[in-house]
């Protein structure tokens, strides 16, 4: 689920315009890659993926206008694969795990990052929020307490610690699932 299914044509145009302005800002000085921390190839890939799913071969053909029979195709294909893998590692694009043709697509996180381009760096949506980090930390701390049996199982404190552990564990697993869904 990329979130692009519900996005109308005007929203797709807005996303494309934001990427085009980011590309124009990169063209004068390619040393300043602060916008999305992306290269020109990565921005081209994102622009193509706004329209829909594409395989690495299709992306190479569209971006560099070369056919798979061309002698320079392998070089361009390697560039596209590297850029796609980098975008995938940062949660912007994803692909299927199984199957022969594995088309790339924008993730929900990628759409949110592109949509926040004009709003400034402080407004960028975070993938893992501070509350999530706190919940994960509490689960880790309480699990260590339960494993080491520092808190006695008898009395009022032991069952309370166990109950809080399971409640926060449920919250953490729910948040973890939501984070995974944003990038897959």
CA distance 74 to 66: 10
Could you tell me if 36 and 117 are in contact, meaning their C-beta atoms sit under 8 angstroms apart?
yes
pLDDT in the model for residue 118 = 61
What is the predicted pLDDT for the residue at 120? 55
User: Is the entire prediction scored with pTM above 0.75?
Assistant: no
How does pLDDT run across 141-171, given as a tens digit for each residue?
888 877 776 555 555 666 777 788 888 888 8
CA angle 43, 48, 52 (to 5 degrees): 135
What Cα–Cα distance (Å) separates residue 103 from each residue in 5, 70, 158, 165? 16, 22, 51, 40
């Amino acid at each position: 689920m990329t979130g692009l299914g519900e996005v109308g044509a005007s929203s797709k145009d807005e996303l494309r315009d934001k990427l085009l302005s980011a590309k124009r800002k990169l063209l004068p000085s390619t040393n300043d890659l602060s916008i999305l921390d992306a290269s020109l190839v990565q921005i081209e890939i994102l622009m193509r993926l706004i329209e829909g799913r594409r395989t690495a071969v299709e992306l190479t053909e569209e971006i560099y206008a070369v056919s798979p029979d061309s002698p320079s195709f392998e070089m361009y294909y390697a560039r596209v694969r590297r850029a796609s893998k980098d975008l995938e590692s940062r949660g912007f694009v994803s692909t299927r795990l199984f199957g022969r043709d594995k088309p790339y697509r924008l993730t929900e996180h990628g759409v949110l990052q592109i949509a926040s381009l004009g709003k400034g760096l402080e407004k960028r949506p975070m993938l893992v929020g501070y509350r999530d980090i706190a919940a994960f930390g509490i689960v880790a701390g309480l699990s260590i307490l339960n494993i080491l049996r520092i808190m006695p199982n008898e009395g009022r404190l032991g069952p309370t610690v166990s109950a809080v552990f399971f409640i926060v564990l449920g919250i953490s697993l729910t948040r973890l699932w939501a984070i995974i869904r944003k990038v897959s």
